[in-house]
Amino acid sequence: MSTELTVPGAAGTVSLIQQTALELTAAHQIASAIAGTSFVPQHFRGKPDECAVAILYGATIDFDPVTAIQQIYVIGGKPALYARAMVAVVLSKGHDIWVEEEAPGKVTVAGRRKGSDRVQKITWTTEDARRAGYTSNKKYDTDPRAMLYARASGDIARRIAPDALMGMAYTVEELELGITPESAAARSERSGVSRLRAAVPPKDEVDEAFETPAADADEATSTEAVVMMTAYQNRQMHALFRDLGIDDETVQRAGISKSLGREVESKKSLTQAEAAFIIDALKARKSQQETTPVPADDVEWPEVAEPGSEVA
């Protein structure tokens, strides 16, 4: 009997890591060719490395390279899809999703996993959205049915076929509304005041002034354009930093960069979702500071209960 060890990946077998490396190389070639074009959304434009990873991730849910870059959105290292894209992926795998009921102020979406007789339903109403604090988004006034459908369909897609979506946790609509980052920010980022201060670069490396990136005209007219931070969010953020005693602009930007996992040269360059991410974490920190006064540098932002309203 042979005493030789069997080595995984030997005898001509390509390991998963090796295969991924090959695919990433190919993805990067494509990304380098298209990253600077107008077909690429603003958050990926001019970033071939990020485009390559998006292409690689998209391949796991059967997206071609261009579709992956167009549909995948990332914030704080979390990938997300628009609700309609989630539904498309789930339907392509043979599962069923349909609108059960649609009325003013109410949308019910139903779904059934392939091979199962069990029908699951999720209902979202304007009142649900109001209680959860989502109706501050103007889209609930201009297109309430679309917003309620996005919430219900995204929820049902993830419920009946999480494997088809590779466990993707968020829809872009949720990130734009700022309704998912609360717990994600606290659990995965843990970017407390101490990290904000620790992230401050040396004075001679600090950029003094910051400019707002010019908005691309094509992006402004596109329905897929990234929604930028609102003036109200900007005021909220400034007020929260002030309340927490973090008045130094450099400290603020350094901490935001650390939290979002990208270099932020100007707070004005934040998307609406990114701003919501930071605002919610700062609110949680302020709430803890008010109830349990402690030295700011010794405390991380606390965990915040993740909101949601699902009706089976």
- Asked, for residue 1, whether it belongs to a domain, the answer is no
Total number of domains in the chain: 3
Do 156 and 206 belong to one domain? no
Look at residues 145, 177, 209 and tell me which one is the last residue of a structural domain: 177
Q: Which residue has the higher pLDDT, 238 or 3?
A: 238
- Predicted confidence (pLDDT) per residue in 76-130, tens digit: 778 889 899 999 999 999 999 999 999 999 999 999 999 999 999 999 998 888 8
- Asked, for residue 63, whether it belongs to a domain, the answer is yes
Over residues 5-19, mean pLDDT:
62
Do 265 and 282 belong to one domain? yes
- Predicted confidence (pLDDT) per residue in 214-255, tens digit: 443 343 333 344 678 888 888 888 888 888 888 888 888 888
Do 171 and 156 belong to one domain? yes
- Asked, for residue 94, whether it belongs to a domain, the answer is yes
- Asked, for residue 277, whether it belongs to a domain, the answer is yes
- Predicted confidence (pLDDT) per residue in 283-294, tens digit: 777 776 666 554
Per-residue three-class SS string for the chain: CCCCCCCCCCCCCCCHHHHHHHHHHHHHHHHHHHCCCCCCCCCCCCCHHHHHHHHHHHHCCCCCHHHHHHHCEEECCEEEECHHHHHHHHHHCCCEEEEEEEECCEEEEEEECCCCCCEEEEEEEHHHHHHHCHHHCCHHHHCHHHHHHHHHHHHHHHHHCCCCCCCCCEEHHHHHHCCCHHHHHHHHHCCCHHHHHHCCCCHHHCCCCCCCCCCCHHHHHCCCCCCECCHHHHHHHHHHHHHCCCCCHHHHHHHHHHHHCCCCCCHHHCEHHHHHHHHHHHHHHHHHHHHCCCCHHHCCCCCCCCCCCCCC
Over residues 263-292, mean pLDDT:
78
Predicted TM-score of the model (pTM): 0.53
Look at residues 71, 99, 117 and tell me which one is the last residue of a structural domain: 71
Over residues 9-14, mean pLDDT:
52
Which range has the worst mean pLDDT, 68-72, 106-110, 301-305?
301-305
**Whether pLDDT at 309 is above 50:** no
Per the structure, the complete domain to which residue 145 belongs is given by 85-177
Do 202 and 189 belong to one domain? yes
**Whether pLDDT at 208 is above 70:** no
Do 201 and 172 belong to one domain? no
